[in-house]
Amino acid sequence: MDTVQDCEQLRRQARRRLPRFAFDFIDGGAGREAAMERNVRAFAAAEIVPDPLHAMRTDDIGCDLFGQHYAAPFGIAPMGGLGLLGTDADLAIARAAAACELPYVLSAAANTALEVVAEAAQRAPWMQLYCPQERAPLLALVDRARVIGCPVLMLTIDMPAVGKRLRDLRNGASVPFRWTWKTLGSAASHPRWSLGQLRNGPLRFPNLQTDEGETDIAQLMARQTGGRIDWDLIAALRDRWPGALVLKGVQCAALAARAGQLGCDGVIVSNHGGRQLDGAPAALRSVGEVAAAAGKGFVAMDSGLRNGEDLLKARLAGARLGFFGRPVAYAYAAGGEAAVTALLHDIKEEYVCARLQAGEGSPHTRILAPGANPGDSVGYGGHLPAGHERATASVVVQA
């Protein structure tokens, strides 16, 4: 890990270090994986019209979000089941985020309890929720997050049913894992991974409070995501939760507007990294119209970001914060906590370089959708409304 790494290099290293079924779990998407590919292609195709003569008002890229200060306008997206990559994945990633002073979102499907993660990182994470078929586990986790002092509650709304992830189905991914001759052979060829998993025992999901026993991942997530999410539930969470409340999985302007009317503090534009609806549009395409509908509400995005220049494109499109998922998982699998920390530093440096070259904050700097001309005012997702604040050097959002 002494050499400069990019996401594709980390991906290749992760593939070498992990058994096939573990790598496929983090690398795969739903269906034909078209949505996953569209996410990445959208960033690659989007162009930036720069204003290199724009004088930056400040070199500080820090941001104040919901009463806390962070060193840069990006964070780590919630990812469940990372215990399949290594026994301390959740803790290592949380510690790396804390060391870099970045937001970290703990998934409800993490393999480490919320309280343990908060203690290890010496700060409470943002907490992500699914909506289970029974309401009690959801409310119990909300109360645990309040006791720990989580600053943000993030409700995922784009998972009313689990996407059909063909790689996981073909590999027989389950909890506990059902070994076959094929998976045994793959694990045997990765002895370091196998020894770690044997020491730690079967994967558990302590934040979901599931019953013990052998349960398919698909069945487990179906129970935990099969509950009905409607505006009444969101209003009830708003009443119960004293901190910031954001909705994750929004790609529609009308949903963003309604969320603001109900008192939500913001939305996360996301198609779940292409792991849910394979026909969903690339998340970057939706940011502009969602930001326009959200007004002064907080708008962030995930799905497809791979480097610091992608972060700049996300912000120019209308997002105030970008979340990274797969690159962080690749980094952990490739080199543990040190590799995650190095990746986060690299993203920050890439973003600083890109914003200086582009002149972020200039009224002339903008992002172009494929096929647009540099003189056009249309960016990815369409026009932003008059007065809407595009990406600036510092973002201030208070709960």
Q: Annotated catalytic sites, by residue? A: 272
What tokens does 394 get?
A: 């510092």
DSSP codes, 258-300: HHHHTT--EEEE--GGGTS-TTPPPHHHHHHHHHHHHTTSEEE
Angle, vertex CA 305, rays to CA 163 and CA 388, nearest 5: 105
Using alpha carbons, select from 27, 19, 16, 15 the residue that is nearest to residue 187.
19
Q: How far apart are CA 102 and CA 95, in angstroms?
A: 10
What tokens does 163 get?
A: 């996407």
What tokens does 181 get?
A: 């001759």
Residue 247 in 3-state DSSP? strand
Strands 105-106 and 74-76: unpaired
Q: How far apart are CA 269 and CA 274, in angstroms?
A: 12
Residue with tokens 């509950």: 227
Q: How far apart are CA 23 and CA 11, in angstroms?
A: 9
Q: How far apart are CA 347 and CA 157, in angstroms?
A: 28
